[in-house]
């Protein structure tokens, strides 16, 4: 009987506390000082925003949103964005894998005076989970999404998970 009670308590604890939502994840990692835009809102035809991809180049090459401009994260250059988007009132949406790195980049844009910057809630993973197309480096639709690691990859429910290549000692 004692084992049954322990099992029920353990199962209830997992059910109550083990199911982190995407909202929980983003609240834990982000400061929420950049407004979100949902994938559904971004996908609407009337949304005329410049879309910036704040992931690394290998991630972008696997898949990205149509017409997204690669800006990177580790090698992000604010000067390049300023040259590409001189109008600081232009609607801009920044995305990454789930919305953590994109908040950092969006904040950098806000600090230099961009007034209409949003963070894509759930990033490319949520985009794919909602059945929107992603495109590879040849601009062909693909099911592949670079997920960085198994921790982030657990959020991808639709599509093919692509993990970083690990160099072997003889590579």
The CA distances from residue 123 to 42, 43, 128, 170, in Å, are 11, 13, 9, 35
Collapsing DSSP to helix, strand or coil, 108 comes out as: helix
Distance CA 138, CA 63 (A): 9
How far apart, in whole angstroms, are the C-alpha atoms of residue 70 and residue 76? 9
Among the listed residues 96, 98, 106, 145, the single catalytic one is 96
Mark whether 148 is an active-site residue: no
Which tokens is 116 given?
């209409």
Which residues, other chains included, contact 26 with Cβ-Cβ below 8 Å and sequence gap of 6+?
32, 98, 99, 100, 121, 122
Which two three-digit tokens encode residue 8?
A: 């029920």
Burial class, 25, CB count within 10 angstroms (exposed 0-12 / middle 13-18 / buried 19+): middle
Which residues belong to the active site? 96
């Amino acid at each position: 009987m004692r084992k049954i009670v322990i099992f029920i308590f353990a199962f209830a604890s997992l059910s109550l506390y083990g199911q982190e939502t995407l909202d929980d994840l983003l609240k834990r990692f982000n400061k929420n000082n950049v407004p979100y835009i949902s994938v559904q809102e971004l996908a609407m035809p009337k949304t005329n925003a410049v879309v910036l991809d704040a992931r690394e180049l290998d991630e972008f090459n696997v898949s990205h949103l149509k017409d997204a401009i690669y800006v990177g994260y580790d090698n992000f250059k604010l000067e390049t964005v300023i040259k590409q988007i001189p109008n600081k009132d232009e609607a801009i949406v920044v995305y990454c894998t789930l919305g953590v790195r994109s908040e950092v980049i969006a904040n950098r844009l806000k600090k230099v005076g961009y007034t209409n910057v949003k963070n894509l809630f759930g990033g490319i993973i949520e985009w794919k989970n909602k059945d929107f197309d992603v495109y590879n480096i040849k601009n062909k639709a693909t099911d592949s999404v670079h997920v960085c690691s198994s921790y982030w990859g657990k959020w991808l429910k639709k599509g093919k998970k692509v993990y970083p290549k690990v160099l072997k000692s003889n590579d």
